[in-house]
Amino acid sequence: MILVIGATGKTGSQTVKHLLARGASVRAFVRNPEKAAPLKEQGAELFVGDIADETAVAKALDGIESVMLTLPNGPNQLEWELGVIKQAEAAGVKHLTYMSSTESNADNPRRIPQVHVKAVEAIEASSLGWTILRPNFFMQAIFGFAASVKANDSFTFPAGDGTATMCDARDIGEVAAIILTGDGHIGKTYDLTGPDILSMHDVARLLTETLGRTIAYVPMSLDDFGAYLGKFLKSEWHNEGVVELMQEMSEEGGLKFKTETLGELLGRPPRSLAQFITEHKAMYEG
């Protein structure tokens, strides 16, 4: 039995779907059973609880061989992840697959990368078999541009001229399922990127080409972005953490490399941003 933590999320929901398609037994750790109903319909067992509840985590781990651990960024992320790692070890879990990110290197002092660095240190120091996934920026972020593209033929984002090698969260969730059900992944760290190194100018160009009308990218200042995020994010830690990531992209240039690893693991080319925009074209149209 495989436990997926973060099962209703962008990647976790895909991991559940692809695990079930591969014939695995899945327990989905969820907070909200209504939101998780599609996972149950697909054949997953639901475990309803909050990851902050140690008793619930211990119960959810009962009888589990492998765990997928993905939690959202926030002030409690590291504490929760360290708790899961410790309890997974105590429960005799054989393999833990953990969602980190490409920028989470030991010498990156920013708070979100440091959460992943410290969680990975704890995983590596444990007796668990492990696999670390380090994806770059998810394409799903550009759903956030849809309203403005529809209304104004433009979008704003605090990326300056920086680049990212954006990947589709669906591909990352699928790769997690491949790793959780396959051999040869224990002790491996995978840097996962999409096929193209893209700036937001490129995103505007791809939107223009696909939609057949000119879409402009208007860079946003980090201060304005922080104020905008403040309307949605409850925690100052999270707000500042996201601004730090965008500062890395806008002022230090962002990610400048791509890897072939995602396609090699999937056994097919990863989705490109051009494909992603074409697939979701209707969201950006009148």
Ligand X SMILES: NC(=O)c1ccc[n+]([C@@H]2O[C@H](COP(=O)([O-])OP(=O)(O)OC[C@H]3O[C@@H](n4cnc5c(N)ncnc54)[C@H](OP(=O)(O)O)[C@@H]3O)[C@@H](O)[C@H]2O)c1
Question: Interface residues with ligand X (CB under 6 A)?
Answer: 6-12, 31-32, 35, 50-52, 70-73, 99, 101, 112, 135, 137-138, 141
Nearer to ligand X, 93 or 176 (CB): 176
- The residues with which 95 forms a beta bridge, in sequence order, are 66, 129
Q: Count of alpha carbons within 13 Å of 106, Cβ hemisphere only? A: 2
Q: Provide the minimum distance between the beta carbon of 152 and ligand X in the complex, in angstroms, as a whole number.
A: 24
Nearer to ligand X, 87 or 208 (CB): 87
Distance CA 111, CA 43 (A): 37
Find the helix or strand (DSSP H, E) in which 96 lies: strand 95-99
Nearer to ligand X, 33 or 263 (CB): 33
Write the Ramachandran bin of 164: left for phi over 0, alpha for psi from -120 to 50, otherwise beta: beta
Q: Provide the minimum distance between the beta carbon of 206 and ligand X in the complex, in angstroms, as a whole number.
A: 18
Taking CB atoms, the residue at the shortest distance from ligand X is 9
Nearer to ligand X, 16 or 220 (CB): 16
**DSSP per-residue codes, 134-200:** EE--BGGGGGGGHHHHHHHSEEEETTTT-EE--B-HHHHHHHHHHHHHSSS-TTEEEEE--S--EEH
Nearer to ligand X, 82 or 141 (CB): 141
Whether 105 and 117 have beta carbons less than 8 Å apart is answered as: yes
Distance CA 132, CA 136 (A): 13
Q: Provide the minimum distance between the beta carbon of 21 and ligand X in the complex, in angstroms, as a whole number.
A: 19
Nearer to ligand X, 101 or 210 (CB): 101
Q: Provide the minimum distance between the beta carbon of 212 and ligand X in the complex, in angstroms, as a whole number.
A: 28
Q: Provide the minimum distance between the beta carbon of 186 and ligand X in the complex, in angstroms, as a whole number.
A: 21
Q: Provide the minimum distance between the beta carbon of 214 and ligand X in the complex, in angstroms, as a whole number.
A: 27
Find the helix or strand (DSSP H, E) in which 47 lies: strand 45-48
